[in-house]
Amino acid sequence: MRVGEVAERAGVNVETLRYYERRGLLPEPARSPRGHRHYDEETVRFVRAIKEAQSLGFTLAEIEDFLGVVGRGRVAASEALRVRMAAKIDEVDSRIAGLRRVREGLARVVGCACDSLDHCTCGAAYLARRGRGPVVAGSLLHVTNGESAGNTIRQTTLGGAVLSWQDVLHEGPVPEGSRASLRTARAAFLAGCGWGSKRSLAGELERRDRQVVDALRDGRRVVLWFEHDLYDQLQLLDVLALVAESDVPFDTLELIVVGSFPGRPGFRGLGELSASELESLWGARAPATAAVAALAAEVWEAVRAPTPEGVALFAAAPRGLEGLPFAAAALQRLLDELPGVRDGLSGTERRALAAVAQGAATPVDAFLVSQSAEETPFLGDAWFFRALASLGSGEARLVETAAGDALPLPPPLGDAQTFGRLPLRPTRNGARVLAGKADRVALLGLDRWVGGTHLVPGAVWRWDGERSLLVAPPA
């Protein structure tokens, strides 16, 4: 075959074949007496194989390296192939996780109900303003837990900009130290969980903080909309502590913090309310006094402390915390995330494992069952899946797939739909832990943060939920 026919059959152009020859991927072809190159069927098959490998994400350099290795012998080739494929799978997984993060960001923009790029706090509006903050001079800044409640607030007639706090402070490190160091720690943790790059997350957190501080410094009204659960109460403490340390006036800061709503006996949060229902709460807003902000800062300092004794003291306040009516109960739930004295499970893990043991067939089923067992539900499905995956890893795992395999990476590092549909079953170890005959920490180890407390072997604080008692690590 002549070069043009080979190129056409292999689906490339002639210059590509010449390039492959110059790189040494294709051997120098035989020549006719008149000097014309002649190719065979093997050349066509090989070029097609190269293009297929490139479509899977392999570069020409990687293909060259691989061919150099496999040419050394059958045994070496087999092992080299496994190593190369495993590395490529990791690379593809990383790309998929990145695309999922992009999708989440786009979904937030699509779902944004703001009618003005000048006032919106979403990523698209931030880019459209060339990195400038929202224009909120002479108007309101609403601060709330996430986009669900935030978008509904945008649909009200109240006006102003809406800022979603969006940090799961009951997960990952919330260490003591400066505000900047806290943002750095949170960005690193969230990036490690697959929610974005460390740099972009740190930038988002810094912009978020700055918008609140600048609004108060400029005398704008800032209204904090939060509910009673652990997720919201930690965010509320975080916001108030930020204000308390920023040396800004308090006279334009107001609170709307609720634990119930008329006509909704099963009230779970602001996100389930309509625009008119949210607007009906406007008259119930109260000023955030300096005393309330100072108390919140003190509680937040206890949450960020390297040991949980201070949290336990605030959680046990006999009359609650004045001006923060839901904080004590939320802190009790935070303490329940420490390993239990009987089984080593956190409260979330215990509910997850019990749900699977009771017949929840998939992670989605287990999530729904465990949420119904929560007195005050606060957990999103992705973070529940992360807790479940931690129980389903390693040889001593407590839960596994119906095929007997360890659980894969949870979303957003793994695919949410695939993970959510996995068939589950408890292991023998899982049954023993639930019965109090084995300890989760002893079986699986532990490296986890609860607030500022880093739980690692030898420094495991535990919580006795039946007696509401904190148990220190053995001396």
Residue 118 and residue 136 in contact, taking contact as beta carbons nearer than 8 Å = no
Give residue 97's pLDDT: 59
Q: How far is CA 163 from CA 12, 154, 232, 270, 314, in A?
A: 52, 10, 14, 15, 28
Instruction: Indicate the SS3 state at residue 349.
Output: helix
Give residue 341's pLDDT: 97
DSSP sequence for 166-208:
---TTSS---SS-HHHHHHHHHHHHHHTTSS-HHHHHHHHHHH
Residue 300 and residue 452 in contact, taking contact as beta carbons nearer than 8 Å = no
Give residue 135's pLDDT: 53
pLDDT in tens, 88-98: 666 666 566 56
Bridge-based pairing of strands 462-464 and 469-471 is antiparallel
Q: What angle do CA 329, 249, 117 make, to 5 degrees?
A: 85
Q: How far is CA 133 from CA 125, 207, 210, 275, in A?
A: 9, 8, 9, 25
DSSP state, residue 338: S
pLDDT in tens, 201-212: 999 999 999 999
Weakly modelled stretches of the chain, pLDDT under 50: 75, 136-138
Residue 220 and residue 150 in contact, taking contact as beta carbons nearer than 8 Å = no
DSSP state, residue 358: T
Distance (Å, whole) CA 70 – CA 322: 71
Give residue 127's pLDDT: 56
Give residue 96's pLDDT: 63
Give residue 260's pLDDT: 95
For 271, what's the count of Cα atoms within 13 Å in the CB-facing half-sphere?
Answer: 14
pTM of the entire predicted model = 0.76
Calculate helix-pair angle for 198-217, 179-192, nearest 10 degrees.
Answer: 140
Give residue 170's pLDDT: 97
Give residue 136's pLDDT: 47
